Amino acid sequence: MTESRGLVLIVEDERHIADVQRLYLAREGFGVHVETDGIAGLAAARRMHPVAIVLDIGLPGLDGIAFCRALRDVGDWTPVLLVTARGEEADRILGLELGADDYLTKPFSPRELVARVKTVLRRAAGPPGQTESVGRLSVDPISRTVRCDGEPVELTATEFNLLAFLLQHVGQVFTREQLLARVWGYPGYRDTRMVDVFVSQLRAKLGEASPIRTVRGVGYSATASSR
Ligand code: CA
């Protein structure tokens, strides 16, 4: 697991396309899970918390557009790479408006797919959102400011990204590798101690208001209540 770049969920009803996608992503060090219809795909997204989703638009059960909307409606900002067929331009634009991160038009080369997945992961650090209050903290993703008991806290960009990411996923546990992929955009970066360093910095700055908990043997998560 320490070698993995994280799990990519592929939702694609054309088996031969899914097989090629799986092969190339696995070769790059990603874990891969494939679903062939939209409903099972959405269930898998909610169950498995993939680092990215490669999402076909034309799917049985639930199409890629409805899938994307269902995901974003509940505040799930997992990066989505839409896979579209020729003639689906309108759907592609709607998908991007609904929060898909990028798109790929069939036919595409597997290498291009891999490059695009890496790119959406790099960009995944700062999803848009509203000010969130968790415990004693409030986080404003637009102005990129954090307040503790109403007082501003000085954070670096990366500290802010890490804290905001964890607070957007309260209760969800992330491995250091997942945090490197989703916050730093370094899916292949191996030095996971960097995560520990930044967590330490955040704890030092936030003191008892820090929502970050160490989950022994796994990684980190944020809790809704401060000590
Ligand atoms: Ca299809």
Secondary structure, 3-state, 116-167: HHHHHHHHCCCCCCCCEEECCEEEECCCCEEEECCEEECCCHHHHHHHHHHH
Please tell me the predicted confidence (pLDDT) of residue 38: 97
Q: 75 CA distance to ligand 1 centroid (A)?
A: 25
The CA 86 to ligand 1 mean position distance, Å, reads 11
Region 33-51: mean pLDDT is 94
pLDDT value of residue 158: 73
The pLDDT tens digits of the residues spanning 114-125 come to 988 987 776 664
User: CB atoms < 10 A from the CB of 204, how many?
Assistant: 9
pLDDT at 1 over 50: no
- Cα(83) to ligand 1 centroid in Å equals 9
Pairing type for strands 174-175 and 151-153 reads unpaired
The pLDDT score that the predictor gives to residue 21 is 96
Residue 171 has pLDDT above 90, yes or no: no
Those residues whose beta carbon sits under 5 angstroms from the ion ligand 1 are 13, 56, 58
> Hey, which of 102-106, 127-131, 183-187 has the most confident mean pLDDT?
102-106
How many angstroms does the Cα of residue 164 sit away from the middle of ligand 1? Answer: 35
pTM: 0.57
In whole numbers, what is the pLDDT of the chain averaged over residues?
85
- Give residue 4's pLDDT: 66
Domains (range + CATH), the chain: 7-125 (3.40.50.2300), 132-222 (1.10.10.10)
Percent of the chain with pLDDT over 90: 41
